[in-house]
Structure 1
Amino acid sequence: MQNLPKKVRSKKLNARVDLTAMVSVSFLLIIFFMLTIELAKPKSIGLDLPDNGDITCGPIGCIDSNRIYTILLDDNDKIVTYSGLLFSPLENSKSSVYGETGIRKEIFETNKRITEYSTAIGKPKNGAIVIIKPSKKSNFKNLVDILDEMAIAKIETYSIVNEFTPEEAKLLASK
């Protein structure tokens, strides 16, 4: 037998892959997708409708007319207010003046009355809905003053509407 050269065998390296980083990335992706799916779900706000009483429905929904308080602004610092709807007011319309003893006092009293009413029907968080209607004759200062009164009285829901009904125009002219 001949002396044949011995074959040199190469050492086999241990072909092991470390998957620690892959596991971390996969968990991060799972968490990311779970979070994005949760955030993509539509959220809605509950709509509280009154259980009883007068309900006024308009283009944006239904509102209990007992919560509505309207302030009409005219020239010469003239203010006329009424509660509820004009064709069925909760109380007679009143003329008022700006200041602590005028419109501010009326707003506080009205908001207190409406909050007590809302608490009585089981909706303690519902306060007054104030509609501010400046006439074309009123000035910007009057509007700013009434908005300051809203902030002082902590009225959360109010709206400025520049459309007068014919009945409201007659009411302003008569007061």
Structure 2
Amino acid sequence: MAAIDQPAPKAGKKPRARKHSFRLDMTPMVDLAFLLLTFFMLTTTFAKPRVMQLTMPVKDHDNTTDVNRSQAMTIMLGAGHRVFYYFGLNAPHDPSVPVPTLHPTDFSPKGIRQVLLARGRQQPAPVVLIATGPRAKYSDMVDVLDEMNITNQRKYAIVPLSAADRQLLPVGER
């Protein structure tokens, strides 16, 4: 490369200092950053998944629990993320028990959650029976169990869909 000759300083004047360009080598800084990043990635604890505790009873076919009709609420899960519910018990063999009225709803915040909260205000300790229709999805069951947890329901059970409950469902849901 060619060098530029600087003229000699004139007499009586102070010689000017040459300005050197500053060059910072970033290679060690990048190495240090990657070492620190690797260290913290390997030593950190990742968030553990939170799961809802579900206590299942011991399978005993002789063990049945009677539910008071005034405390009962039945939720039936249908196709297409639809939810149906009624209050009381469906007992078609008992003529003194009226046929329950089936109400449709969904999983929106104004859906089954509001129904469960209203039932909890009406009846201090409701028993919620959850039945799945033949075309219900697994995600619907997870969603309704989440709603039980959100609304702080203490007593609920997963029960099979009875023939009497199946007759209450609309024709497309059976």
Task: Place the TM-score, normalised by the shorter chain, in its bin.
Answer: 0.5 to 0.7
In the alignment, is the contact (CA less than 8 A) between 1:83 and 1:89 conserved in 2? no
Other-structure match for 1:108 = 117
Using the aligned pairs only, state the percent identity: 23
One-letter identity of the residue aligned with 1:74:
G
**How many angstroms does 1:90 deviate by?**
8.7
Alignment-derived partner of residue 10 in structure 2 = none
- Unaligned runs of 5+ residues in structure 1 are 1-57, 116-126
Equivalent residue number for residue 162 of structure 2? 165
- So what's the TM-score if we normalise by structure 2? 0.55
Runs of at least 5 residues in structure 2 that lack an aligned partner in the other structure: 1-61, 92-96
Higher strand share: 1
Q: Which 4+ runs in 1 deviate beyond 2 A? A: 58-63, 87-92
**Equivalent residue pairs, number:** 106
Q: Which has the higher helix share?
A: 1
Amino acid at match of 2:148: M
- Distance, in Å, in 2 between the alignment partners of 1:111 and 1:89 is 22
User: Partner of 2:143 in structure 1?
Assistant: 145
Residue 98 (str. 1) matches residue 98 (str. 2): no
Alpha-carbon distance change, 110 to 90 in structure 1, aligned in 2, over 3 angstroms:
farther
TM-score by length of 1: 0.55
Q: Which amino acid aligns with 2:131?
A: K
Across the aligned residues of Structure 1 and Structure 2, the Cα RMSD in angstroms comes to 2.1
3-state DSSP class of the match of 2:70? Answer: helix
Q: SS of 1:133's equivalent?
A: strand
Alignment partners' CA distance in 2, 1:132 and 1:81: 9
Within 5 A, what are the aligned runs for 1:1-175? 59-87=63-91, 88=97, 92-115=101-124, 127-161=125-159, 163-174=160-171
Q: Which amino acid aligns with 1:169?
A: R
